[in-house]
Amino acid sequence: MFLLIDGNNVAWAGYYALERAMKPEDDERRHRVAMLGLASGVLGAIARRGEPPGGPAGPPLTRVALVFDEGRAVRRRGIFPKYQTGRESDPKFVANEPVILRAIDEFAGMAARILPIEVVQGADTEADELIAGLVATTPGVPKRIISTDRDFLHLISEETSVYAPVKKLVIDDRNFWDAVAPKASDGTPALFPRERFLDYRTLVGDTSDDLPGVPGIGPLSAARLLAAAPVEDYFGQPERVRAALGRRSEAVEHAFASGAAQAVVERNRAMMDLRLAAPSWDELPGHTRRGSWDRAAFEAWLDEQRITSVERAALLESLDQLAAAG
């Protein structure tokens, strides 16, 4: 199993989960919370081999890539300047970002020295783009992505699954629609052809990234449109939109008649489709540092950092197996 860990995502999720309990009051305490959150998330995923807590561990790991953002989202902001700008005006984000980035820098440095894993960072490149490149360049290998980022869902295949740590849920080919399909008020899932899932997301947008969708389109209406036809069939055809939705909506029909919907879909595809957005994949080795397994040094680091939330024996066993796998 090739484990791909979205480091920034794990760091922020871990920090907010612990912040509620530990209530840090100064930068040093916040740094402690950030380091605990990141270390627990990353090392726990390795110890459990990509599986949720409380159940059996996954198959032995043959490779682990810990992937981090490096700098701002330059490529995506070149397409849509408002991308992820909302968080930068959030006082809580502004206050916490320096301590989380410090924890990332320290943890990544340790991992790249003494753990038998890869630490991947590319200048002005987001982690999801790098992970997509690693997925695409390892065909025939079972892969599991660790992240809550919904951008990864369209990469799910027979070979690739996603573990969402906050929900403690593995999403794969078998439970894809149970996990991600929008549901009507009676709980019935609104299904459509799987190959149209990316266009479902382009229609709806992503509020967490400040990325708007087509005006007037929500999850259920997007699903109904895509159940009836590919999204391209609606551009310039408002009457087809009305027929698929079974109702009139001036805002939605105007968007498809005027070209606004097509512009939104094409922009969001360029932002969301990780198969297109990955950087030049032959440059991935240049973004990668590989650690050399030093078990004694790592155990000393665990003691120094007082990391007790991870089952140590299982973690060391996984790391020994990774080192043996080369």
Where residue 130 sits, what CATH number does that domain have?
3.40.50.1010
Does residue 242 share a domain with residue 100? no
Cα–Cα distance, 152 to 132 (Å, whole number):
8
Same domain, 190 and 259: yes
Tally of domains within the chain: 2
Task: Please tell me whether residues 164 and 193 are part of one structural domain.
Answer: no
Q: Are residues 21 and 61 in the same domain?
A: yes
What pLDDT shows up at residue 280? 64
Look at residue 143 in the predicted model and tell me its pLDDT.
98
CATH number of residue 248's parent domain:
1.10.150.20
Q: Taking the CA of residue 275 as centre, how many other CA atoms within 13 Å lie in the half-sphere pointing to its CB?
A: 7
One domain, residues 108 and 89: yes
Whether 155 and 297 share a structural domain? yes
Whether residues 9 and 121 share a domain: the answer is: yes
In terms of domains, do 171 and 188 share one?
Answer: no
How close are the terminal C-alpha atoms of the chain, in Å? Answer: 13
**Neighbouring-strand partners of residue 70:** 125
pTM confidence score: 0.93
User: What confidence score (pLDDT) does residue 302 get?
Assistant: 96
Residues 76 and 172 in one domain: yes
Query: Which helix (H) or strand (E) segment is 268 a member of?
Result: helix 260-272
Q: Output the CA–CA distances (angstroms, integers) from residue 308 to 298, 302, 305, in the order listed.
A: 13, 8, 9
Do 59 and 171 have their domain in common? yes
> Which domain covers residue 84, as residue numbers?
2-178+278-325
Q: What's the confidence (pLDDT) of residue 277?
A: 60
Q: Which residues does the chain have with pLDDT short of 70?
A: 71-72, 277-280
Task: Indicate if 28 and 161 belong to the same structural domain.
Answer: yes
Question: Helix (H, G, I), strand (E, B), or coil: what is residue 312?
Answer: helix
Q: What is the per-residue pLDDT for 264?
A: 97
| Same domain, residue pair 221 and 171 | no
Query: What's the pLDDT tens digit per position in 97-136?
Result: 899 999 999 999 999 999 999 999 987 788 998 999 999 9
CA 246 vs CA 209, 221, 254, 308: distances in Å: 31, 10, 16, 56
